[in-house]
Amino acid sequence: MAEVIIVADEEQAGALGAEAVAALVAWKPDAVLGVATGSTPLPVYRALAARSLDLSRVSAFALDEYVGLPLDAPQSYHSVIAREVTEPLGLDPARVHVPGEGPLEEAGEAYERDLRDAGGVDLQILGIGTDGHIGFNEPGSSLASLTRIKTLTEQTRRDNARFFRSLEEVPIHCITQGLGTILRARHLLLLAFGEGKADALAAAVEGPVSARVPGSVIQLHPRVTVLVDDRAASRLEYADYYRYAYANKPSWQPL
């Protein structure tokens, strides 16, 4: 079962997430981070930036990218990762990877190759969509899927329209690491905040493992940490147990 930590607010989640990255980099200065975009991981990036760690040898792999946007559009994940991760954290741009470069039909396999060549992801930061997606693996995605082109659901396009001038501008297609790709990471750190994520989070953490809720694939992974605020945790049946387990967490156990 995932370790579920119910935090007071996004700031506390950010601090814990940053602590996990700092601990990793302390013993592995050339660690490979899996980075998500969207609003959810921002508190982690902010807390990490405030620690001024030397992350110059760290590599980073983004989860996904829109298809059909110029790579330098402000909403492209190439731009978002540069703005919110590479620059503030002081990463070497040559070590930061975002899928979707080169010929599209080869981009999935090329990204899988790059991930393998880098030695795989040590710590994967994840958010979850209101429809249960992780990465852009929408409901129905194969639990064994690898990096490939997907079609976004209308719900995801509506959720992400806040970053565009209109819903029509939100691309219909994307390239995303698969659920099988994400499962290869050594440690998954899933964050969720707010009432709007409560159903998806409960289904992912406590529901049946099913392609209907792609986030439920985390239940197949041996090392998962879930950081949630009270509102996102509000539909978790075992919330009391998670609080009890965290309050009694042995001091020798890492996050």
List interacting residues with ligand F6R (CB under 6 A). 36-40, 63-64, 127-129, 133-136
CB of residue 90 to ligand F6R, shortest distance in Å:
21
Q: How far is CA 255 from CA 146, 202, 208, 215, 244, in A?
A: 27, 21, 25, 20, 16
Q: Which is nearer to ligand F6R, 20 or 190 (CB)?
A: 190
d(CA 34, CA 142): 20
66 CB-contact burial (10 Å; exposed 0-12 / middle 13-18 / buried 19+): buried
DSSP 229-253: ETTTTTT-TTHHHHHHHHHT--TTS
Residues with catalytic function: 64, 131, 133, 138
Q: What is the three-class DSSP state of 59?
A: strand
- Taking the least distance from each CB to ligand F6R, the nearer of 64 and 112 is 64
Q: Tokens standing for 123?
A: 């710590």
**What minimum distance in Å lies between the beta carbon of 194 and ligand F6R?**
8
Q: What pairs with residue 126 in β-bridges?
A: 190
Alpha carbon 24 to its chain centroid, in Å, reads 17
Question: What distance in Å separates the CA atoms of residue 133 and residue 64, rounded to the nearest whole number?
Answer: 12
DSSP letter (8 states) at residue 137? B
Nearest-approach distance from CB 243 to ligand F6R, in angstroms: 24
Nearer to ligand F6R, 40 or 147 (CB): 40
* CB 254, min distance to ligand F6R, A: 24
Q: Which is nearer to ligand F6R, 77 or 242 (CB)?
A: 77
Nearer to ligand F6R, 135 or 180 (CB): 135
- In angstroms, give the least distance from the CB of 20 to ligand F6R: 17
Q: Is the Cβ–Cβ distance between 245 and 2 less than 8 Å?
A: no
Q: Residue written as tokens 């852009």?
A: 136
